[in-house]
Structures are given as C-alpha cells and as structure tokens.
C-alpha cells in the first residue's frame, strides 16, 4: 500500500467528515467505542450498580464468554488438534480431548500431498493482482465520475450501480461463457489469472464507496492545484489519493478478502489442478485424503485469513459497516 500513500501528512487537510456513519476509518472508531462505555444502554447504570444487578451482570458476562468460545473457538480448536491425531485416534469413540501424541509431521504431509504451496501461491497471485487492478481501475473511474464529471457520467454511474442489483450467482453461466470466449477479442481466459482479475474490477460497490468519498473532498482544494497547472492525473496522485487513505484501505481489504474467500467462480474458470485457488484445490482433493491430512490442510488454509484478520481487524470491521449501512 505504501506506493499509494504519497503524502500521509496531507490527511489533516481534509475537513472532518460531516457524515458520522461514513467509514471514516481508524481515527473516528476508537473514540466512538470509548464513549459508548459511558453511554446509557438498555440496562440503566443504577440497576447495574446494585448488588443484584452486579451478580446478574457477571453471570450473563460469563455465560456469553463461555458460549461464544464454545460456538466459535472450540470448532477451530477441534480442527487444530484433530489434525494432530492419528486416523485411529480420530475414529475413536469417545474422542480424546487432547491429542495423545503431538506430531506436527502431518502438516508437512498435507503441504506436500496436496501441493498446498502451489495453491497458496496461486491464491496470493489472484488476490494480489485483483487488488492492484481493482484499485487502479476503480479509483480512476470514481475520480472521473466525481471530479471530472464528463457528459453521460450520470448514466455510466447508474449503469455501474445497477450491477449491485444482480447477485453474482444468477449471471454465473453467461459470465463463465464470456470468460471462455471473450466477445470481439476471442480470447479464452480460462486458467489464466485474468479470469479472476478483470471481473473482480467490475465492482459497482467499490465505485460507489470511492465516489462518495471523493465527492466529500472540497472542490477548492483541487481547483487551486488546477490553477497551478497540475494535470488531472497529478491531482489524483498528489491530492486525492493521500486524503483518501481510509476508503482505499477499506476497498483494499474488501477486494482481497472477497477474492480469497470466493469459491464458485475460481471453481469454474480455473479448472486445471495447478491453477486452482486454495479453497478449490482442497475441496477437489478432499475425497482422496486421509482424514487427518485433510484437516491439517484446512488449518493451513485458514491461517492466512486469521492472520490478516488479526492485523487488519479495524479496517475489516469498518468495511463491514460501510457495506451494510449504505449498500
């Protein structure tokens, strides 16, 4: 991302966001959450302060923590330890809570047998390329629609936003046929990364998010640069991009995660086993693997997502509310 953020200090030149619900990103979120601690919720603070209230509060708290851990963390614990068990131990009834012998060799076995290195590398290329192409194409399109305002710009925007009404699943077959034989050019994009990259850039939601953010950048800022003789490209690079870091962060995370998680599209357009993404690769080989090797592969496949979530938690959650409050 460092190649995009040219002048981080310029961020201060954008006035505070008038719209509180907007995904203004890092700066505004922690403040809101800190404030909510003192803010009144359904249960009044007085009730909470009574001895009875405090007892109930702690019972509820412990109940919630235990049940959330059981529902959301325990399956993952079961997965990580399940991989370490031998096939005999996996079939054993009742199951052992801790694996009797810890042998991480199964992870190496899964890595080799399923060729996970290739799958992970492929997925990285698909997600990374999709991210780069999406940013270049969607940022410049949103900039043109927001600041250059060409003739028929409104119509183009409407056309792009109308794709939000079409769920991806219902145009799956024609999209597949298009990628297989691109009209006019006659290219066959199957088994090439372009089959992932180009459709990923045609994302009306990203255009919408970016354009709405660009609209909030004051015109005077750009006009001043224009008078100084800056070209539109120069204005985009040196003024618009630096102040748009929060929204670019949100779009980046969303685009990478979307490609990383996708299953149906790569299943169709990347059928060769050495071109498969990690999800499709594991799924296609799952039937032939010993149970513990398959589980080890699942652990390896989920690690990147969990690590990314650890690091970018705040941006991911900001993107989530950006996506739902205003779709």
Partner 1 sequence: MSAISVRGTRRKPGTVRRGVRRNLTAYGFLCGALICFAFFSWYPMIREVLLSFQQNNFVDAPVWVGFDNFRTVITDPTFVTAWVNTAVFTGLALLVGYVIPFFAAIVLNELRHARAYLRFVVYLPVMLPPAVAVLLFKWFYDPGAGLFNQVLDAVHLPTLAWLDSTSTALLSLVLVSTWMNLGTGTLIYLAALQSIPGELYEAAELDGAGLFKRIWHVTIPQTRLILLVMLLLQIVATMQVFIEPYLLTGGGPENATVTVAYLMYQYAFNFGDFGGGGALGLMLMIVLMVFSAVYLRVSRDTDN
Segment 215-244, which members bind partner 1 (CB under 8 A)?
232, 236
DSSP classification of residue 13: G
How far is the C-alpha of 285 from the C-alpha of 99, rounded, in Å? 25
Residues 151-190 interacting with partner 1 (rule: CB under 8 A): 151, 153, 156, 159-160, 163-179, 181-183
Query: What SS3 class is residue 9?
Result: helix
Pick from 18, 51, 94, 229 the residue near partner 1 by CB under 8 A: 94
| Residue 102: CB minimum distance to partner 1, A | 20
Note whether 119 and 137 are within 8 A (CB): no
| Residue 315: CB minimum distance to partner 1, A | 13
- Helix and strand tally (H, E) in the chain? 18, 0
**CA geometry: angle at 31 spanning 28 and 32, to 5°?**
85
Pick from 4, 144, 190, 230 the residue near partner 1 by CB under 8 A: 144
Pick from 43, 49, 108, 158 the residue near partner 1 by CB under 8 A: 43
Q: How many CB atoms lie within 10 A of CB 131?
A: 24
| Residue 34: CB minimum distance to partner 1, A | 11
| Residue 239: CB minimum distance to partner 1, A | 15
* Residue 287 interacting with partner 1 (CB under 8 A): no
- 115 dihedral zone (left: phi>0; alpha: psi -120 to 50; beta): left
* Residue 86 interacting with partner 1 (CB under 8 A): no
| Residue 9: CB minimum distance to partner 1, A | 26
How far is the C-alpha of 78 from the C-alpha of 69, rounded, in Å? 12
Pick from 2, 9, 12, 40 the residue near partner 1 by CB under 8 A: 40
* Residue 261 interacting with partner 1 (CB under 8 A): yes
Count Cβ atoms within 10 A of the Cβ of residue 220 and give its class: 0-12 exposed, 13-18 middle, 19 or more buried. Answer: exposed
Note whether 276 and 263 are within 8 A (CB): no
Pick from 188, 263, 273, 274 the residue near partner 1 by CB under 8 A: 263
Cβ proximity to partner 1: between 209 and 301 the closer is 301
How far is the C-alpha of 165 from the C-alpha of 177, rounded, in Å? 21
How far is the C-alpha of 241 from the C-alpha of 255, rounded, in Å? 18
Residues 1-30 interacting with partner 1 (rule: CB under 8 A): 20-21
Per-residue binding letters, 197-216, with partner 1 (x by CB under 8 A): -xx-xx-x--x---------
Sign of CA dihedral 226, 228, 233, 237: negative
* Residue 282 interacting with partner 1 (CB under 8 A): yes
| Residue 86: CB minimum distance to partner 1, A | 13
Per-residue binding letters, 96-135, with partner 1 (x by CB under 8 A): ----------------------------------------
Query: Near partner 1 by CB under 8 A, which window of 10-18, 103-111, 237-245, 290-298?
Result: 290-298
Query: Near partner 1 by CB under 8 A, which window of 4-12, 215-223, 242-250, 257-265?
Result: 257-265
How far is the C-alpha of 302 from the C-alpha of 80, rounded, in Å? 10
Cβ proximity to partner 1: between 9 and 185 the closer is 185
* Residue 296 interacting with partner 1 (CB under 8 A): no
What are the DSSP calls for 114-179, one per residue?
Answer: TTHHHHHHHHHHHHHHHHHHHHHHHHHHHHIIIII--TTHHHHHHHHHHGGGS-GGGGHHHHHHHH
């Amino acid at each position: 991302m460092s190649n995009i953020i040219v002048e981080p200090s310029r961020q201060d030149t954008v006035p505070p966001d008038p719209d509180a619900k907007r995904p203004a990103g890092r700066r505004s979120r922690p403040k809101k959450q800190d404030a909510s601690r003192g803010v009144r919720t359904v249960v009044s603070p007085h009730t909470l302060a009574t001895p009875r209230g405090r007892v109930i509060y702690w019972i509820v708290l412990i109940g919630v923590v235990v049940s959330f851990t059981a529902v959301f963390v325990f399956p993952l614990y079961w997965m990580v330890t399940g991989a370490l068990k031998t096939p005999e131990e996996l079939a054993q009834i009742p199951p052992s809570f801790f694996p009797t012998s810890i042998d991480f060799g199964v992870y190496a076995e899964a890595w080799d047998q399923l060729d996970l290195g290739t799958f992970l590398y492929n997925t990285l290329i698909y997600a990374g390329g999709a991210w780069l192409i999406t940013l270049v194409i969607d940022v410049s399109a949103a900039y043109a629609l927001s600041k250059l305002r060409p003739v028929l710009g409104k119509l183009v925007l409407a056309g792009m936003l109308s794709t939000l009404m079409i769920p991806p699943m219902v145009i799956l077959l024609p999209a597949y046929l298009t990628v297989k034989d691109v009209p006019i050019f006659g290219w066959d994009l199957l088994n090439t990364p372009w089959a992932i990259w180009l459709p990923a850039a045609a994302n009306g939601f990203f255009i919408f998010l970016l354009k709405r953010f660009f609209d909030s950048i004051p015109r005077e800022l750009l006009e001043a640069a224009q008078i100084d003789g800056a070209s539109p490209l120069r204005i985009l690079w040196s003024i618009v991009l630096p102040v748009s870091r929060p929204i670019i962060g949100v779009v980046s995370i969303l685009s990478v995660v979307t490609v990383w998680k996708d299953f149906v599209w790569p299943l169709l357009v990347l059928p060769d086993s050495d071109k498969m993404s990690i999800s499709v690769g594991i799924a296609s080989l799952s039937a032939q693997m010993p149970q513990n090797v398959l589980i080890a592969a699942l652990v390896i496949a989920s690690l990147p997502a969990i690590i990314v979530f650890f690091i970018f938690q705040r941006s991911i959650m900001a993107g989530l509310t950006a996506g739902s409050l205003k779709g």
